[in-house]
Structure 1
């Protein structure tokens, strides 16, 4: 091994040691708890939308409710810290902690945990935006993002790529739920009655989240196919689009219940999950 390789290895070891710091684990667990709360709130709002109630059934809608209470600013900054910690923990999972895995598993971990790091980091940015008073509509933001992509020479294909990537992540969540791949994250309750209940929450929650992501991704693809970026409206728009279909309200309720199940699962993950 050359001196350069040795130095890189020592640096990677130092980064891995830092990623194992108790403080980062605490922040990451807090991040899981924050995501649990947001999913439960989004699930409740999806059910409300199914019955014709107003509101945004997405992260923005949940943050709008949280920031409106007297402790709103404190909650927003706490959310920034928790989601940033969780994003850093997922980034370490994707890189330095995956060094010892076989090639294919290491690549899979890089993709899955890397995507989650970006997703949790973006939620942290949303918390920061609300904390400093930058509160916008998620549907408008998604439409603006899609329009900006479409203005690029390769925008059509970029928008399709965004949609297919979102749908791919949705498929990942569905498969993870069906195969109970989440059980590796929670090993304490295996073989117990409580473990069986947690498995049900994990299956239902992951499948519901996967379906919702597929719907949101499909809107990106449709918007690209029609050259109409205004039709890409994110999670809230995709859920509200269901409401006008014959079985839409029932499906919305099912997705809402699934999001709540995922949120409860994430709470258990926050407390007892492998770190």
Structure 2
């Protein structure tokens, strides 16, 4: 048998060594992502998001009664920043959301690498999107702590305008809108199918578990509907070349008030957000990480 050329052997050995080093680094990073510290901080992030959903739901209900407010994360954070402990609450929220974003990022990459290819791609999209979303909320907390505030509707419209001014901007904005709406559909399917029970088995089979399950169903459906409305506004903005149409969650919910049964739908979504917040609070304490 002929000997393999020394150059090929050297390159093959280098490739195996590189793969071994990268694999070891990924294993070490995954072990770090499973640390007790990150677990606690990520759970705190879930609790922060739960509180934001409750506040957003309360603002949505108040809108039906004629009150003012912004029914989206920025508006909810503004409400929390108004209390005497505002700066401490803001930095605490930032830390929790940053930890939760990091945990979701590890879910999308480090832990997903052990899954089959199809599930890996699905996890990359879902957890990757959540990592970006939680990171964005964390930055909003940090901005409020530093005294930098902005209207989310204006920010969303400005983002849409900037995207529409770029090559292929309209298709990209439509793709973004359909992605957000698709995640909304995912939340509804997850709620109706009670698939969230995979994340929370602590109370399964108990009377308390039935109540938590009901909160989970109502909350996931309400959040899904809100995301679908938000995503459709991106699509409308791209189709009509009117970036002002994409006003984010607050604008999509306020637009419901102008329709015949809109206030009732808005009231239901607001109540659903409060239910989701209550469910998420239980998830923060007892959920599987």
> Shared topology, TM-score over 0.5?
yes
TM-score per shorter chain, which class?
over 0.9
**Higher radius of gyration, 1 or 2:** 2
Shift of 1:148: 0.7
1:69 correspondence with 2:78: no
1:12 correspondence with 2:26: yes
Alpha-carbon displacement from aligned partner over 1:81-112 (angstroms, at most 9, x marks no partner): 00000001111111111222222222211111
Shift of 1:180: 1.2
1:51 and 1:249 in contact (8 A); partners too: no
Q: How many residues get paired?
A: 275
1:91 and 1:117 in contact (8 A); partners too: yes
| 1:185 aligned partner | 199
Alpha-carbon displacement from aligned partner over 1:10-69 (angstroms, at most 9, x marks no partner): 111100110011110010000000000000000000011112211111111111111111
Aligned alpha-carbon RMSD (Å)? 1.0
Cα distance in 2 for partners of 1:162, 1:145 equals 12
Cα distance in 2 for partners of 1:102, 1:224 equals 36
Match of 1:130 among 136, 144, 150: 144
Shift of 1:70: 1.1
1:33 and 1:270 in contact (8 A); partners too: yes
Match of 2:41 among 27, 35, 52: 27
Gaps of 5+ in 1: none
| 1:58 aligned partner | 72
Moved over 2 A (4+): none
| 1:270 aligned partner | 284
| Matched ranges for 1:168-207 at <5 A | 168-207=182-221
Match of 1:212 among 202, 208, 226: 226
Secondary structure at 2:71 match in 1: coil
TM-score, normalising length from structure 2?
0.93
| 2:11 aligned partner | none
TM-score, normalising length from structure 1?
0.98
Alpha-carbon displacement from aligned partner over 1:160-187 (angstroms, at most 9, x marks no partner): 1121111011111111111111111101
